[in-house]
Homo-oligomer: A and B are copies of this chain.
Amino acid sequence: MGLKQPDRRAFLKRGAALAGGLSLGAVEPAIGQTPASGQSVEGQDYSSEELIAYGQRSRFVTSKRIPHGGRPSPDEFDLVFHVAAPLQDSVGVITPSALHYVGTTRGSFVPDIDPKEHRLMIHGMVDRDLIFTMEELKRLPSVTRLHFIECAGNRSNRRHTTVQETHGMTSCAEWTGVLLSTLLEEVGVQDGGTWIVAEGVEEVKGASSLPMAKAMDDILVAYAMNGEPIRPQQGFPLRLVVPGFEGILSVKWLRRIKVVDRFYMTYNDYGHLRRDPDDAALSYQIGPKSVITFPSGGQQLPGTGFYEVSGLAWSGGGAVSRVEVSTDGGESWMDAEIRGTPHRMAHTRFSFNWTWDGTEAELQSRCTDELGQVQPSRAQVAEFWGRPGVRGQDNSIQPWRIASDGSVHNAIS
């Protein structure tokens, strides 16, 4: 069974799907490529009692979160400290919990909560105040749903290099918990109880006002993510998950929900300085959005030929219904393949088969959601708002330029 030299023209011979000439590596022995014994390995012994109980990733995998916005480390005088997910390494739609983005306006404050001691109080304009232990919450009817969370400030600008910097403040997980409506029906919302204020275990902030219509619709009081208890950085042991709304509203370390008769201004609402409660509520929703994660800024294509272009699309308005890709800077658009069945208010993976011929190209993606909302271009956002990002959210199209040497760059000019 002698090995032949791999046929470098194999991918050239294929039809449209794979046309393009994937350059294959040289023949190498496939046997004996690993140490004779993996029993004991420098830096990580995968057979240790600790790793039998709870595994770890390979020492060769070094993908990591980074502080967002140029702040190298938390600072007690700089309370906004965000940590961005490495979207350039993402596949599928689940963000590993260890890599889920973190947003906080309390520095690196992470409460260390004993779940046995934790309580959720629901009070205010209700028929009966109730306080729930974690054990009690877990006895109630639960739901499990895939949802993204995204910081409203997750926007690109010309200074950013990588997709982690431009779009890393969003992640997607399988959340499990009790519908807030289940709890609100239990306490009995009184007439006129039209808003809730949700408060987390934080000192100066951590409260969010949310309209009752949303509270009774799809908000989760979540105790688990990706099949295990929520991680401390994501709100252990209890987090409000507000599907499709700005991430700051998904209150972490949730301890109190008060039913009230109006929008209450809180520290979390500094981005919503509107007079009209309806207007304020509407501004919560994340617009249709997408970004190509491969190839993306800072990456390097090893050569011409076939590539699967891949990215994420999402919308606060529901499920993604269409994703288009342009390779010529938005002049022409082609439908990307939507991978799997899109979930509502969840990251959706898309892909696009592309053959790069070695000339400069500009890749863009554009998302349409189930409401028919279309992700705008940067020029469209600028025309409407003056400039992108000025109103907090910016869901404009992210362009990546492929230089003729295969290097990939942020193409925002």
Which residues of A come within 8 Å of B, CB atoms?
1, 3-4, 6-7, 10-11, 14, 17-18, 22-25, 27-28, 30-31, 33-39, 41, 44, 46-47, 49, 51-61, 63-67, 73-74, 83, 89-100, 102, 107-121, 123-124, 128-133, 135-136, 139-145, 174, 176, 182, 185-187, 201, 203, 223-224, 226-229, 231-234, 236-237, 253, 255-256, 258, 302, 305-308, 310, 339-341, 349, 351, 353
Contact = CB atoms under 8 A, between A and B. Distances in A.
A97 B136 contact: no
Central interface residue in A91, A186, A349, by most chain B CB within 10 Å: A91
Contact of A227 (B93, B186, B307): B93
Contact of A144 (B10, B23, B226, B340): B340
A341 B341 contact: yes
Nearest to A6: B130
Given A30-B121, A186-B14, A115 B4 contact: no
Contacts of A129: 3-4, 6
Contacts of A227: 90-96, 99
Given A52-B102, A140-B308, 14 more contacts: A6-B128, A24-B133, A33-B118, A35-B112, A36-B203, A39-B108, A52-B74, A61-B236, A92-B174, A92-B224, A93-B144, A94-B174, A135-B302, A341-B341
A114 B60 CA distance: 6
Nearest to A10: B186
Nearest to A187: B10
B228 A7 contact: no
B99 A55 contact: yes
Contacts of A351: 141-142
Given A91-B224, A98-B54, A131-B27, A47 B108 contact: yes
A206 to B, nearest CB: 12
A30 B112 contact: no
A109 to B, nearest CB: 6
Contacts of A109: 37-39, 47
B34 A112 contact: yes
Tell which of A144, A307, A341 has the most Cβ of chain B within 10 Å.
A144
Contacts of A59: 112
A256 B98 CA distance: 32
A33 B200 CA distance: 11
A113 B229 contact: no
Given A115-B60, A228-B89, A123 B17 contact: no
A142 B52 contact: no
Contact of A119 (B33, B185, B234, B253): B33
Contacts of A6: 128-131
A163 to B, nearest CB: 15
Contacts of A226: 92, 94, 96, 226
A143 B339 contact: yes
Q: Which 5 A-B pairs have the closest CB atoms?
A: A47-B108, A46-B110, A53-B64, A92-B144, A30-B121
Contacts of A142: 91, 308, 310, 351
B231 A55 contact: yes
Given A65-B54, A227-B91, A38 B110 contact: yes
A353 to B, nearest CB: 6
Contacts of A339: 143-144
A54 B58 contact: no
A306 B139 contact: yes
Given A38-B109, A38-B112, A83-B52, A228 B61 contact: yes
Contacts of A231: 55-58
A232 B187 CA distance: 48
A185 B11 CA distance: 10
A130 B18 CA distance: 16
A54 to B, nearest CB: 5
A357 B83 CA distance: 48
